[in-house]
Structure 1
């Protein structure tokens, strides 16, 4: 560690902050106007770097040389803007009035489609772009070499911030954008063409993301993992800076990038006989910053509460107790599931797949418990699934306990995590609450990923098998079915208990619930813990079903899978998460085994389901059943109106 090294690392942080700001600025702009949490924004960044690579090669091949490279960067950004505008016109316009979470599901489907489109067009290999002509060398700073191109990036960030600020503050278009950010319904009431305003904003946001990707061409290779890595960092920057605040996004990008650079500069430090590897903290430092900022300032560094929308989306309906027909149907399904391993005894894989489906159903049901009835949107529910899995594995391996005891105690580990994380999370709401849960999940993932002596680090833990009486997959399947059925049934019972009604009252009207003496935050905190406990049960079952676990069980991908399951099935029905888990898991398995481009096919199927059933599969079935029941009641009423004597007799029987 020395002063010159510190200065170079700080400059590296400034260069990284510029590209990160470009992506975050586009995401913040889109969210501020359209209220869409665009999960595909990282894909636009990835498309930008791939298109810039191809354009640079093409223009160099026709003799344009250095001019071709510099021309390729803005052209790639414009191409991404065109792609973004097309997506907004064809898809997003159809779902603006859908609940925000369903919009998130649609943009997640776009991530899958775009990833496989890039795989088809450019292949799976990393593509390293050329050096920037004219800026391929380095400059001397305090005796150290620093890339000239990085100095160019340091300048680009403030220039783009200034250009966007001028656009938003000095033009009529900017006035409309700022007005839509504050109250988009009022802008529509003033006869402004809201549709084309949204398209223009989406195109500009996509252009910024594409430009951010194109500018990274000389610095890093184009890979298929850029989308998820980029969107997670961009979300953090937007939330830390404050939703809709471009200066806030720039300040947050600087803060996070510089802290990462400081961690790299510090290296390994010995404190009190213990060695601390600060470079490893770069995996999680942005989420630590986000958690700290949201706990201290819930609206971000330079953000402010968004004006409430007059359109409330899909209205929450009161849950109704099921009749004997529903109970009989549920019992029939459980019996059928119990018989399936016997009927498919010649196909052992079917039993393995069914175990995965049941575990996914229990995990989705636990997430639905806090998302639907409690109204708390969690983007980090995989933390409790992973804590349950690692808790079970460590209790068996390090504690020497039998599996039966581990299945009982492991969920308590997950519940403890939910107890700690939930205490902070329930003090926020909306997107900020969701992002704080994501931050806690990523912090947990980083601890598991780096604690080699306890968790096995990136290799995970192996040799976690059930006892002999459960060694056969059929026996383990029946145990999983029993625990899953009991878990779903228990969650349902809780929802129709006084606590469940109180939880829904807190969701529907926080002010009224507080006015009648309900401690809203305490009730939501308790709901958070219950959901974490059940998620931990699913994680423990998963660990023993696979015999091994890895940090991926706590990753962002697992949390996203849970969200997709809940939304695909329907958030307004208790059967929704189970239906969604079975549908998504089965589709994922069936499509992945039959095509190399399974992501695109799965994404297309999810898009079709979102457009056809915006209330989810189970929600659509419920709506059809309600309409049929209402139509049948209307027919009976018409018949009685046409036969007064029968109506009088019916009334008489009713009175008697």
Structure 2
């Protein structure tokens, strides 16, 4: 019993830092409506700056002064980021704001390595809390007990700040109705800056307080941001008390999961988040909001099919690309095949986002399932490569069918977070089911057969499948099904009134996107000759989002351009510089600021507008009449 009590106290201590970071993210989202992916980066910066101030400048500030000073320094940096970057894109689509904060995260990851080096750093022990306290015969670090008390104290301070001060009243009012607050003469710019600074301060303080417990390293940001998203969603967006309760719940699940459910310990928190989202989409303590009508910030202009000249131009481009083996070596062909594969992956997510209005944060799940599908069929069942390519992606389709059934019941950020939860569940299964997936060692030796083994042959295969996949998805966009899906995206009530079953249509689109994502994963497994749990990871899902947003989510073909630019640039930068993330992150930010509609979307603004194809309008009218 004593051991379990100590384990419970350890969970409470971990909950303190997690609550600080989650409350900061919840405050920022509640007012600015920015899903701040860089919040984990500020947490990491807080830890690094605190390490420097408490270890190398301890004589000047002392340990606790260094902790507070580190949080204030990072908060000031956060305020500058808000004024210099985020103010410029508040009116851009919200997904582009997510993209900008992702670019900032990439930059910070390289900056900390540049300033502090790649090695883990071990911070000083907290003065006055270096020993342990005996609890029922078990030793509990006294610093853990300090954190257990500190968490509720911060909760009380935040409650007072938001309930008993004028600033807090304005923040709560802005959370409910920003336009009304602006009409009352409140300077929204400085209100947003102060809110962002407070949120960053809490994140940095959470990171700084961790240095006596954990080593400081440059992967802290991605590790914490996933858990923080889970906490915020479970507790309810904008609810500080909900973030506290959810932080305790998640930390205790992490503490006891390895003891009670060792086989599914990594999955537990995501299972809980999935259940909460399905039963109560707005979180345990959040407030129900009106359902989102479309992807946040998405306003797609009427699309038109390609003209005959444009079709010929596309064919000519594919023919020119097919001639690459005559000009490039094996490395160029390998890079070309990888880019073609990611064109399929990005196009599948783009179909779901642009046509369906559904922004998935876990699309890598179906990419990875397709990869594992061909690996298991080829290695264990001994099926030929053609059969594996046909059947392997069906595992992605099956996963999309299962998860999509629940996901399409939600909308907006709740839909996105549920897809993230499902993706992390699949990743956890792949990581822990060692007997089947090989766990972290992966499945090796997934090589293509002799007819497709040469770099040129595999490149041609990947290019051909990519071209066919893009054509198939484009046909789906301008089919009666595509029009029904777009009607559901734009006006659920009107589409329901003419007899369109919106949820069934969206579920079908989810399955289609998952199938094509699985196809990309299947080809990727043959390209690399192996499959690992990383093929299901959140970083790959974010890559897909970046490709779509860079190309232009409000376009039909933006994903193709976005995938080519992002993947080619990232591969080239890795070969040219040790600071590829810094350069790539800066490039992403420049694109977001200078081209808020994406590369293709911006180019389209310089082209003369044409009305939608009349035949397409006839198809839409016919579908509506049939539905009636």
| Equivalent position of 2:48 in the other structure | 50
| Equivalent position of 1:284 in the other structure | 267
1:565-576 superposed matches below 5 A: 565-576=547-558
Matched position secondary structure for 1:421? helix
2:20 to 19, 22, 37: 22
| Equivalent position of 1:650 in the other structure | none
Q: Is the 8 A contact 1:130 1:217 kept in 2?
A: yes
1:320-331 superposed matches below 5 A: 320-331=304-315
The answer to whether residue 121 in structure 2 is matched with residue 127 in structure 1 is yes
The answer to whether residue 482 in structure 2 is matched with residue 488 in structure 1 is no
Matched position secondary structure for 1:145? strand
| Equivalent position of 1:606 in the other structure | 588
1:422-461 superposed matches below 5 A: 422-461=404-443
Q: Which runs of 5+ in 1 are unaligned?
A: 267-277, 631-656
> Once the 2 structures are TM-superposed, how far is the Cα of residue 282 of structure 1 from its aligned partner?
3.6
2:605 to 596, 604, 623: 623
| Equivalent position of 1:595 in the other structure | 577
> Once the 2 structures are TM-superposed, how far is the Cα of residue 57 of structure 1 from its aligned partner?
1.6
Q: Is the 8 A contact 1:183 1:309 kept in 2?
A: no
> Once the 2 structures are TM-superposed, how far is the Cα of residue 611 of structure 1 from its aligned partner?
1.0
| Equivalent position of 2:619 in the other structure | none
Q: Which has the larger radius of gyration?
A: 1
1:419 to 388, 396, 401: 401
Q: 1:390 to 1:314 in 2, by over 3 A?
A: closer
Matched position secondary structure for 2:392? helix
The answer to whether residue 277 in structure 2 is matched with residue 294 in structure 1 is yes
The answer to whether residue 303 in structure 2 is matched with residue 319 in structure 1 is yes
| Equivalent position of 1:469 in the other structure | 451
**Runs of 4+ more than 3 Å apart:** 279-282, 306-314
| Equivalent position of 2:497 in the other structure | 515
> Once the 2 structures are TM-superposed, how far is the Cα of residue 408 of structure 1 from its aligned partner?
0.5
Q: CA RMSD in A?
A: 1.5
Q: Is the 8 A contact 2:38 2:101 kept in 1?
A: yes
CA–CA distance in structure 1, aligned partners of residues 276 and 161 of structure 2: 29
Q: Is the 8 A contact 2:345 2:544 kept in 1?
A: yes
Q: Which runs of 5+ in 2 are unaligned?
A: 612-628
CA–CA distance in structure 2, aligned partners of residues 585 and 499 of structure 1: 31
Q: Is the 8 A contact 2:293 2:490 kept in 1?
A: no
| Equivalent position of 1:637 in the other structure | none
Matched position secondary structure for 1:626? coil
CA–CA distance in structure 2, aligned partners of residues 319 and 458 of structure 1: 44
| Equivalent position of 1:70 in the other structure | 64
| Equivalent position of 1:260 in the other structure | 254
> Once the 2 structures are TM-superposed, how far is the Cα of residue 411 of structure 1 from its aligned partner?
1.3
1:30-429 superposed matches below 5 A: 30-60=28-58, 62=59, 68-266=62-260, 278-279=261-262, 281-306=264-289, 313-344=297-328, 347-429=329-411
Q: Is the 8 A contact 1:185 1:309 kept in 2?
A: no
> Once the 2 structures are TM-superposed, how far is the Cα of residue 314 of structure 1 from its aligned partner?
5.0
> Once the 2 structures are TM-superposed, how far is the Cα of residue 309 of structure 1 from its aligned partner?
9.7
TM-score (structure 2 length as normaliser) = 0.95
Q: Is the 8 A contact 2:11 2:251 kept in 1?
A: yes
User: How many residues matched?
Assistant: 610
Larger mean Cα displacement after TM superposition, 374-383 or 543-552: 543-552
Q: Per-residue CA shift, 1:411-456, capped at 9, x if unaligned?
A: 1111000000000000001111101001100100111111111111
Matched position secondary structure for 1:625? coil
CA–CA distance in structure 1, aligned partners of residues 291 and 373 of structure 2: 41
CA–CA distance in structure 2, aligned partners of residues 90 and 200 of structure 1: 14
> Once the 2 structures are TM-superposed, how far is the Cα of residue 307 of structure 1 from its aligned partner?
6.2
| Equivalent position of 1:546 in the other structure | 528
Matched position secondary structure for 1:538? helix
CA–CA distance in structure 2, aligned partners of residues 452 and 265 of structure 1: 19
